Structure 1
Amino acid sequence: MRTVRTLTALALAGAGLFAGAGAAVAAVAAGPSPSPSGKAAGPTEAGTTFRTATALQPGQQGTADASTGDYLYWVLPLDAGARATVDATVKLPPSASRHGASTWRLDVYDGLRRRQACMYGMQTRAAAKEAGSVELSCTLRTVRAGADTWANDPLPGSYYVRLTVLDVAPEDLGLPVRAQVQARSKEIGGAVAVDGALAAPLTAPKPAVAGEPEGGWSGGWWSDRWIWTAAGGLLAALAGIGGYRLTRGTGRPSRAPGA
């Protein structure tokens, strides 16, 4: 009975440990609670080049009044373990003032100005002449803490969002449009953790323009794998102690009757 009680206590301790670790992981992954609307107030203008890109934090919504044919740029910081989704909406001029359909495109570049592929989303869409708006989206691959020099993997640093029209009737160039852009970031955690880390984030030439994550750059050394590794080591130790007590208890010689 003593051995059974011991193993039961060890099992309960292990269950409590995993529950605590799971709660810690959930807290890390969840991050700050979003606002009720899900869209925090952001900048009301956009840059027209990489160098003049307007800073945008994940969770903020940026707006800009522009002309058809303009290139609009925003820049946001993404740290290791983040998977970002960029959504854009372009409110078009009244159909009566337009001469035909238009095609719009949303691109995302890293700090080295390498265009990043979208995992999914519609980054190029056509708007009919009668359409009032067009919506685009791009979900990036998860940002890695480090990568080989020849790889095009997304790395921590500044990411540039560019929105523009690809195809439009020449008569419609210069018509006013209103753009809305929002970036959402989801923390993936240890599932994509790698050994090593980038010495410095891929920031813009002017770091003050790009900003940095609210908690600062993590540098890629931390992931929730540390929690599970520690939990696994402790459970292994508890299992060893339990096994030792069990074998010790069953190996004792039984007493003869009347001894």
Structure 2
Amino acid sequence: MRTRRERALGARTWRVPAGRVLTSCVAAGAALWGAAGMAAADSPTPASSASASDASGDGPTEAGTSFRTATAVKPGQRATADASTGDYLYWVVPVDQGQQATVRAKVTLPKAARRGTATWQLDVYDGLRRRQACRYGAQTRAAAQDASSVELSCTLRTVRGWAEPWANDPLPGSYYVRLTVVDLPQEDLGQPVHAEVRADTAEAGGAQAVDGSLAAPLVPGAGTATPQDEATPQDGASASPDRATALAEPDGGWSSGWWSDRWIWTAAGGLLAALAGIWGYSLTRGSGRPSRVPPGA
């Protein structure tokens, strides 16, 4: 016959593994949470993209005058151009799926006396030349007669891997930025202005991921060439498509579309569910002895 001390020790034996399993659940959850956080930290942010591109040098110093001659700019680069009031200025920047692009523009107005208020507008078009709506930002602003500059911005919706034919969702590929004045006194046309444009991209994360991707990004032709590339070549030489293609895609190439940080959260949820099941089983199985011990045992 077992003593009361032995029965008490036997009744407590199941509690030890239960506590250990609970500790393991907490530790595994913390480790997976940290892994997901590090994966999110590895995603490029506007600040990191900007610093990486600034290290490689300044961006282009001119702009195109149409979609076909748009000047290629990498995300995070600062593009500048000297133009005349009334000109249409075009740049093109690659945006991949899962990214959210923010385009900012600053126009330095002439110091010469102006006749009235000028309204400037920043438009963004996708690879199909569909005008994309801005989630937020001052896309159109009026510069007073004595203003020295005007700043505009446009934050696009997150680029999707694919969309229904009837939808106007932004898709991966080339995005055209157009900057121009839409309203001003006729006498102010032709005055010199200085424009600065910058497009930053940030990863939206697995919450915005979709199952599926395009067969190829929406990049017209082999790439978007700069006005210099499209100039008439001399001695029968052709424009360099390699340089145009390199500028028309992200630094790391286009995404394959199968990976997102949702994989991390799915694996974390599956592991935590398995550990919770083991812990629940250890709670319910008890010490392995009958719940009632016959008298005299």
Common topology (TM > 0.5) = yes
| Local SS of the residue matching 1:212 | coil
After the TM superposition, which residues 1-259 of structure 1 pair with which residues of structure 2 at under 5 Å, given as runs? 1-3=15-17, 4-28=19-43, 30=45, 33-34=48-49, 41-96=58-113, 98-207=114-223, 208=244, 211-253=248-290
For each residue in 1:192-250, what CA deviation from the matched residue of structure 2 results, as whole angstroms up to 9, or x when unmatched?
11121111111123412551111111132221111100111111122222222333334
Contact 2:58 2:78 in 1 (8 A): yes
Contact 2:102 2:153 in 1 (8 A): yes
Name the % identity: 67
Residue 10 of structure 1 and its aligned partner are, at CA, apart by: 3.2
For each residue in 1:44-64, what CA deviation from the matched residue of structure 2 results, as whole angstroms up to 9, or x when unmatched?
110111011001111111000
| Local SS of the residue matching 2:254 | coil
One-letter amino acid matched to 2:81? A
- Supply the RMSD in Å over aligned alpha carbons: 2.3
For each residue in 1:66-101, what CA deviation from the matched residue of structure 2 results, as whole angstroms up to 9, or x when unmatched?
1111110000000111111111111111142x2222
State how far apart, in whole Å, the 2-side matches of 1:225 and 1:7 are.
25
State how far apart, in whole Å, the 1-side matches of 2:62 and 2:76 are.
16
Paired residue total: 258
Question: Structure 2 vs 1, CA of residues 109 and 28 (structure 1 numbering), >3 Å: closer, same or farther?
Answer: same
Q: Which has the larger Rg?
A: 2
| Local SS of the residue matching 2:152 | strand
TM-score, L = length of structure 1: 0.90
State how far apart, in whole Å, the 2-side matches of 1:184 and 1:17 are.
29
Contact 2:120 2:179 in 1 (8 A): yes
Structure 2's unaligned 5+ residue stretches are 1-14, 224-243
Residue 35 of structure 1 and its aligned partner are, at CA, apart by: 5.3
Contact 1:199 1:219 in 2 (8 A): no
State how far apart, in whole Å, the 2-side matches of 1:158 and 1:138 are.
16
Residue 172 of structure 1 and its aligned partner are, at CA, apart by: 1.8
Residue 31 of structure 1 and its aligned partner are, at CA, apart by: 8.4
State how far apart, in whole Å, the 1-side matches of 2:36 and 2:296 are.
52
State how far apart, in whole Å, the 2-side matches of 1:117 and 1:125 are.
16
Contact 1:80 1:219 in 2 (8 A): no
State how far apart, in whole Å, the 1-side matches of 2:217 and 2:249 are.
10
Question: Structure 2 vs 1, CA of residues 37 and 92 (structure 1 numbering), >3 Å: closer, same or farther?
Answer: farther
State how far apart, in whole Å, the 2-side matches of 1:252 and 1:223 are.
48
One-letter amino acid matched to 1:235? L
Q: Name the stretch that deviates more: 24-33 or 167-176.
A: 24-33
For each residue in 1:4-46, what CA deviation from the matched residue of structure 2 results, as whole angstroms up to 9, or x when unmatched?
2333233323322222222223323658835569966211110
| Local SS of the residue matching 2:286 | helix
State how far apart, in whole Å, the 2-side matches of 1:220 and 1:31 are.
21
Question: Structure 2 vs 1, CA of residues 7 and 124 (structure 1 numbering), >3 Å: closer, same or farther?
Answer: closer
Contact 1:45 1:62 in 2 (8 A): yes
Structure 1's unaligned 5+ residue stretches are none
More strand by share: 1
Question: Structure 2 vs 1, CA of residues 19 and 9 (structure 1 numbering), >3 Å: closer, same or farther?
Answer: same
